[in-house]
Amino acid sequence: MNEVDFFQLKSWVEVPAHSDFPIQNLPYGIFSTDGTTARPGIAIGEHILDLQAVAKLGYFDELAIDIHVFDQEVLNPLIALGKPVWQALRKKLIELLSEGNPSLASKADQVLYKQAEATMHLPVQIGDYTDFYSSEEHASNVGVMFRGKDNALMPNWKHLPVAYHGRSSSIVVSGTDIHRPKGQVLPPGEEKPVFRSSKRMDFELEMAFITGSNTALGQSISTAEAEEHIFGMVVFNDWSARDIQRWEYVPLGPFLGKNFGSSISPWIVTLAALEPFRVKGPEQNPEVLPYLQYDGNKSFDIQLEVALQPQGAEETVICQSNFKYLYWNMAQQLAHHTVNGCNIRVGDMMASGTISGKQPDSFGSMLELSWGGKNTIHLQGGETRTFLEDYDTVIMRAHSSKFGLRIGFGEVKSQLLPAIKE
Amino acid sequence: MNEVDFFQLKSWVEVPAHSDFPIQNLPYGIFSTDGTTARPGIAIGEHILDLQAVAKLGYFDELAIDIHVFDQEVLNPLIALGKPVWQALRKKLIELLSEGNPSLASKADQVLYKQAEATMHLPVQIGDYTDFYSSEEHASNVGVMFRGKDNALMPNWKHLPVAYHGRSSSIVVSGTDIHRPKGQVLPPGEEKPVFRSSKRMDFELEMAFITGSNTALGQSISTAEAEEHIFGMVVFNDWSARDIQRWEYVPLGPFLGKNFGSSISPWIVTLAALEPFRVKGPEQNPEVLPYLQYDGNKSFDIQLEVALQPQGAEETVICQSNFKYLYWNMAQQLAHHTVNGCNIRVGDMMASGTISGKQPDSFGSMLELSWGGKNTIHLQGGETRTFLEDYDTVIMRAHSSKFGLRIGFGEVKSQLLPAIKE
C-alpha cells in the first residue's frame, strides 16, 4: 500500500474527526472493565479492542505467537517477542480493523469496549527509568536560573546526552493524583534548612520511550540499531519540587525533588505509527564523537501542549512545544546509555527531559514559564500562577499530523492534591 | 534463651571455626545445583540448607505460610510475607538446625548441599536501586579531589543523607566478571573529549540493605519504623570509572561512570542476625531536623576489608574499614528517602556509599587510597597499583564478631576483564 492509500484507510470502528486513534495509530495499553482483570488492548477511535478476546477467537493463530502474552497485566511479555512480531501484529490488526472486512466486525460486541467505561493501568512493568536532559533551551534556561549565565550550559552538554537515573516505583498512569511532597528546603538568605511542604511545585513536559529488548551486560547498541530496541512512546509529566531539588541536588543530582511521582499517558504509540512524521534534528555543532553520529532522520515532529486547570475552572493552554526541538534524538540517547556496556531490559523507560522551544510560550515547565517565579502566568478567568496551587490539574497532550492524518497520544492528566497531614 | 546461651548454640551441621555462617546467622540466598532450577536456601557452615526441600517435607506447615514462596527463583515473595514471618521462620530454622535435634538431621542428605558445588544467583529481583553517600570521610576525600578543599563537603551534606538513583539492571552477583567500560573522557588540559576505555577503574566498598515491604505512594516511614521495612544486608562493590564519571557528572550526577555494573555478595544477612552488633553512631552536629532524629543504637559494628588480587598472584588486603563509621544510619536513610512520599517495594536495594574511615588504610576506594593516582598502592610480590589493571580481582568481605560469635557476609569477588573489542 502506498502512503496516500494508507493515509486514507478507514476502520469499520467509528473514528471521530480529530481523534488521536485512527486505524493508522493502534497504540497499546493495559485496561480493565468492571469486574475483569487488567489485560492488553489497543485504542481505536473512542473504543478499546480487547486483544485477549481477539486472541481467544483465534485471529492471531497464524502469527505463531504464544497467546498467553495477551493474558498478562503488563505488556512486557508481548513486547519481548521482538520487532518482527510487533510488525506482524500491526499488519494483522490493520487488516482486521479495516473498513469492509467483516471477519472481526461481525464479532464487535465480543471484542470492543468504550474507553469511557474502562480503567487504564500502567502499561508496562518498568525496570529502570532514565531521565535525559536533551533540550538545549531547557538546559540553558535552568542553568541560567540555578547557576547564572556564565555556567548555564555545562562543558559536556553538547558532547553527550546528559542523563541521570530516576525512580521507577513512583511512575503512575494518567488519572492518579499526586500529593504535594514535603522535604528539606533552604529558605532564601538563610543558612539552615527547614522542613515543610514544597512551595514551588512544577511539572515538566517530557516524552518517554519504552525499550523493547533485553541486552547482555557488556553489549552496546549503535545509533543505527537503536530503533530496533524501541517499542514506542508516551507523554511524561516529570513532577518537580523546585525548592527541594535546589537544596539537595549538589553534587549527585535530583532525588526527592523528583521521585515522589511521575505520570505517563496510558497508550504506548509505536515507532511504526510515527514513521510518517520523521524529521531532521537540529544541527549538532561541535561535531559529536563517532558513536553518537547517525544517518537519516531520527527526530519526530510531535506537537505538544500543556494545559493548566484550576479546581472548578476551565483549562488554559500555557505551553506549546514540539518533540523535534530536542538536540539529542532517541537513537543517540540509547547509544550513549549502552556505550559503556550497561544492559537494558524490556520495559525500561527513558524520558527526554523537559522539552522547551526558543519562544517563551514553548517553555516546558513553570520554572521557565514564570522565570523562577518572577513572571506571572495568566489563566482564563483571571487567575494567575507562578507555581502550581493545590487542586490544580495538569494536562499534557501530544499528536502528530500531516495530510489529514492525525496520530495522537491522548493525554496525561493528574491533579495535585495538598500535602498529606501527619 | 539468654544471650550467653544463644551465643554458644551449635548446629548438627558442622561449622568450621571462623566460618561466617554459624547457626546464629542463617543468611538467605538463591542457589542451584547441577540440572536444578534456582531456589531459596540458607547458608550454614560450608553447606546450603535447601528451603524448598525442607518446606516439601512439611517442616514449615505450622508456620501457615504459602510454601510456594520456596519454589521461586528470587526471594521477593518470601520477603513480602513480612517481619512476623521472618521471625517465625528464623526461630523454626534455629530449632531444626540445633545440635541434638534429630528431626531434620535424620534427613540431612535430602536437604543439604555443599556451597562449593552450588551456583549462587542474584537473590532478589531488584526494583529500584539507590546509592547513598553517607560516609563523611569519603565525601570529604572525593570533594577535595573533585572540587578543592573549600568546596569539599557541600552545605547540605550534614543536614540530609545525600543520595542518587542508580541502575538496577546491571547489579550482578559475586563471581560475575565485569568488562572495563568505554566512554567519553576529557584528557587533562584538553577542551574536547575523546572516546576510549576507562583508564581509572576503581571499586567502592559499600554495603546495601534490601527493603522488605511495599508502601503506598504518599506514605512516609519514620526512623522509628524504618527497621521494620529492612530485610537484610549484603556487601556491595560499586564499580566506578573515575575518568568517565568526572566528565559526565555535572550537573545531574554519576551515570555511565557507574551503571556498567555493580556486584553484591550472594547471602542476605538479616537484621535479626546482626542484632548483637548494634552500636551508637557518630555524633551528628549540627542537630538534624526532627524527621531524621532517632532513638537507640541504629549503627552496626561490621568489619570490612577489600583485597586486590592480580592475575596469578596472591591477594593483598588494601583497605580495612567498618560500617559503623557511617555518619547517616539506615533508619535515617530510609526515613529521608520516603519523607516526600516516595514509595518503596520489596527488593529495593539501598547502598551506603563508599565506607571510608579516618585512617588512610581505611579508605574504601582506590581513588582515595592512591589520592587521585598520586600515591602508589603496594601489593604483595612487589606489584603496585594506582587504579585497577585488567584481570585484577577485587574481593570484599564483611563480618561482625563478639564474645566468640562471628556473623559474616561471605564475600563479593569479581574480576575486571579488558574492554570488549569492537
Q: What is residue A338's predicted lDDT score, i.e. its pLDDT?
A: 98
Q: Enumerate the residues of chain B whose CB falls inside 8 A of the CB of residue A173.
A: none
CATH number, domain containing residue B204: 3.90.850.10
Instruction: Specify whether A185 is located in the same domain as A117.
Output: no
Phi, psi of A292 (to 5 degrees): -105, -5
Query: Which residue in A340, A346, A416 has the most chain B C-beta atoms within 10 A of its own C-beta, making it the best mutation to test that interface?
Result: A340
Q: Which domain range does residue A100 map to?
A: 3-121
Residue A407, pLDDT > 90, answer yes
Instruction: Specify whether A201 is located in the same domain as A315.
Output: yes
Looking at the DSSP bridge assignments, the partners of residue B384 are B378
Q: What is residue A47's predicted lDDT score, i.e. its pLDDT?
A: 98
Instruction: Specify whether B387 is located in the same domain as B283.
Output: yes
CA A321 to chain B, closest CA, distance in angstroms equals 24
Instruction: Specify whether A408 is located in the same domain as A351.
Output: yes
Q: Enumerate the residues of chain A whose CB falls inside 8 A of the CB of residue B166.
A: 165
By DSSP bridging, strand A269-270 and strand A230-237 are antiparallel
Instruction: Specify whether B25 is located in the same domain as B51.
Output: yes
Q: What is residue B294's predicted lDDT score, i.e. its pLDDT?
A: 98
Residue A60 within a domain: yes
For the ranges A46-50, A105-109, A152-156, B361-365, which has the lowest average pLDDT?
A: A152-156
Q: How many CB atoms lie within 10 A of CB B287?
A: 11
Q: Enumerate the residues of chain A whose CB falls inside 8 A of the CB of residue B244.
A: 340
Residue A422 within a domain: no
- Residues of B serving a catalytic function are 138
Instruction: Specify whether A83 is located in the same domain as A222.
Output: no
Q: What is residue B146's predicted lDDT score, i.e. its pLDDT?
A: 79
Residue A209 within a domain: yes
Among A128, A248, A251, beta carbon nearest to B167:
A128
A394 in Cβ contact with A385 (< 8 Å): no
User: DSSP letters along A373-418, please?
Assistant: TTSPEE-GGG-EESSPPTT-EEEEEEEEEETTEEEEEEEEEEEEEP
Q: What is residue B2's predicted lDDT score, i.e. its pLDDT?
A: 86
Q: What is residue A421's predicted lDDT score, i.e. its pLDDT?
A: 86
Q: Which residue of chain A has the CA closest to B250?
A: A154
Residue A389 within a domain: yes
Query: Which residue in B126, B147, B165 has the most chain A C-beta atoms within 10 A of its own C-beta, making it the best mutation to test that interface?
Result: B165
Is there a contact between A169 and B343 if contact means CB atoms under 8 Å apart?
yes
Model pLDDT for residues A254-313, shown as the tens digit of each residue: 999 999 999 999 999 999 999 999 999 999 999 999 999 999 999 999 999 999 999 999
Instruction: Specify whether A27 is located in the same domain as A67.
Output: yes
Q: Binding-site residues of A for substrate, please?
A: 133, 147, 245, 249, 354
Instruction: Specify whether B187 is located in the same domain as B265.
Output: yes
Rounded mean pLDDT, A76-105: 98
Kindly give the parts of chain B with pLDDT less than 50.
Answer: none
Please count the structural domains in chain A: 2
CATH number, domain containing residue A92: 2.30.30.230
Residue B368 within a domain: yes
- pTM value is 0.97
Question: Smallest Cα–Cα separation from A97: which of A40, A20, A45, A31?
Answer: A45
Q: How many CB atoms lie within 10 A of CB A86?
A: 19
Among B160, B170, B254, beta carbon nearest to A217:
B170
Q: What is residue B130's predicted lDDT score, i.e. its pLDDT?
A: 98
Instruction: Specify whether A139 is located in the same domain as A273.
Output: yes
Q: Which residue of chain B has the CA closest to A190?
A: B155
Cα–Cα dist A344/B172, whole Å: 14
Is there a contact between A165 and B169 if contact means CB atoms under 8 Å apart?
no
Helix (H) or strand (E) holding B95, with range, is helix B83-97
Cβ-proximal residues to B190 (8 Å cutoff; 6+ apart), any chain: none
Query: Which residue in A252, A346, A417 has the most chain B C-beta atoms within 10 A of its own C-beta, making it the best mutation to test that interface?
Result: A252
Q: Enumerate the residues of chain A whose CB falls inside 8 A of the CB of residue B286.
A: 192
The domain boundary, picked from B99, B121, B143, lies at B121
Is there a contact between B165 and A170 if contact means CB atoms under 8 Å apart?
no
According to the annotation, is B262 in a ligand binding site?
yes
The domain boundary, picked from A121, A155, A185, lies at A121
Among A128, A248, A291, beta carbon nearest to B156:
A248
> What are the residue ranges of helices labelled H in A57-188?
76-79, 83-97, 102-105, 108-111, 136-147
According to the annotation, is B72 in a ligand binding site?
no
Among B184, B249, B341, beta carbon nearest to A181:
B341
Among A133, A195, A342, beta carbon nearest to B167:
A342
Interface contacts A/B by beta carbons within 8 Å: 189
Residue B196 within a domain: yes
Query: Active-site residue A138, yes or no?
Result: yes
Residue A150, pLDDT > 90, answer no
Question: Smallest Cα–Cα separation from B241: which of B178, B204, B198?
Answer: B198
Q: What is residue A332's predicted lDDT score, i.e. its pLDDT?
A: 98
Cα–Cα dist A340/B259, whole Å: 8
Among B147, B193, B256, beta carbon nearest to A159:
B193
Mean pLDDT, chain A, rounded, equals: 97
Instruction: Specify whether A147 is located in the same domain as A202.
Output: yes
Residue A58 within a domain: yes
Instruction: Specify whether A109 is located in the same domain as A133.
Output: no
Is there a contact between A156 and B128 if contact means CB atoms under 8 Å apart?
no
Torsion from C-alpha of A168, A173, A174, A176, nearest 10 degrees: -90
Q: Enumerate the residues of chain A whose CB falls inside 8 A of the CB of residue B168.
A: 127-128
Instruction: Specify whether A233 is located in the same domain as A350.
Output: yes
The domain boundary, picked from A121, A143, A173, lies at A121
Q: Enumerate the residues of chain B whose CB falls inside 8 A of the CB of residue A147.
A: 251
B131 in Cβ contact with B164 (< 8 Å): yes
Is there a contact between B345 and A133 if contact means CB atoms under 8 Å apart?
no
Is there a contact between A340 and B164 if contact means CB atoms under 8 Å apart?
no
Q: Enumerate the residues of chain B whose CB falls inside 8 A of the CB of residue A348.
A: 169
According to the annotation, is B190 in a ligand binding site?
no
Residue A249 within a domain: yes
Is there a contact between B337 and A256 if contact means CB atoms under 8 Å apart?
yes
